[in-house]
Amino acid sequence: MKKLIILILPLLILTSCQVSEEIYFNKDGSGIYNLKMDMNGMAKMMKGLAENDSIQYKRAPEKSDTIILFADILKMNNDSIVKLPKEDREFLESMKDAKMHIHLDEAKDEMFLNYEIPFKKIEDLTNIEKKFNKLNSYNNKGVKGMGNEMFPGYQISYKFNKRGFHRVVKKIKDVENKQVLQDTKMLNMIQYEIIYHFPYKIDNVSYKDALIGADGKSLHIKVPLDSLIKNPKMLDFEVKFR
């Protein structure tokens, strides 16, 4: 399969300046899930390294803004996809509406990626991180490889109805997250942000440091990524609507 790996780059999470999980909910339980990686800081760092390089290459600052539709990737690789096991074919078909937005402006030190996945029901978001990693596991030969998870050993699911919302974080097995031990100094500079947009007014939130937007329907939480990886259950919380 032709470069399906470009659709998800989990290692970039560890070099991002901010990772945002943003979800738009509709009353019928459908919505849009976004995973955003703001890497402006990394872009600036890379620019500084290039400027200090002993060998200078004169070129204009790079600028690009690209949207990649997963449906187009599936279409281009149809001959390879039909040879995959049924489970893999069904999974890829379920992700056909996903897309990725890549923005780079070196002159302004701007760099971000946004992965967008529409969903029809709240249950589709269960273990969304594993779905991202499964996308990444397809290389150009159609063979599955290894993925990378921020929260190995945990299952993240979501519950939503007209009365409230619950982000459920459940530990399912003991797994040592070696990345935390290796990258603690880097991870503590990265923020993990949650932004949820509900169709109902929020009454209260169990997470004490959550901020409610001016419209009364949006929720904002920000935590250090290293703390979250060490304790994913810190973002197990409930929201009650009016």
Structure tokens at 18: 């901010």
List, for residues 76-135, the tens digit of each pLDDT value: 888 888 888 888 888 888 888 988 888 888 778 788 888 899 999 999 999 887 777 776
List, for residues 60-74, the tens digit of each pLDDT value: 777 888 898 888 888
Q: 116 or 184, which is more confident?
A: 116
The answer on pLDDT for 7 being more than 70 is no
pLDDT band at 4 (very low <50, low <70, confident <90, very high): very low
Which percentage of the chain shows pLDDT scores above 90? Answer: 35
Please tell me the predicted confidence (pLDDT) of residue 40: 63
Average pLDDT, the chain: 79
pLDDT band at 46 (very low <50, low <70, confident <90, very high): low
Q: Which domain holds residue 206?
A: 4-241
Q: Count the domains in the chain.
A: 1
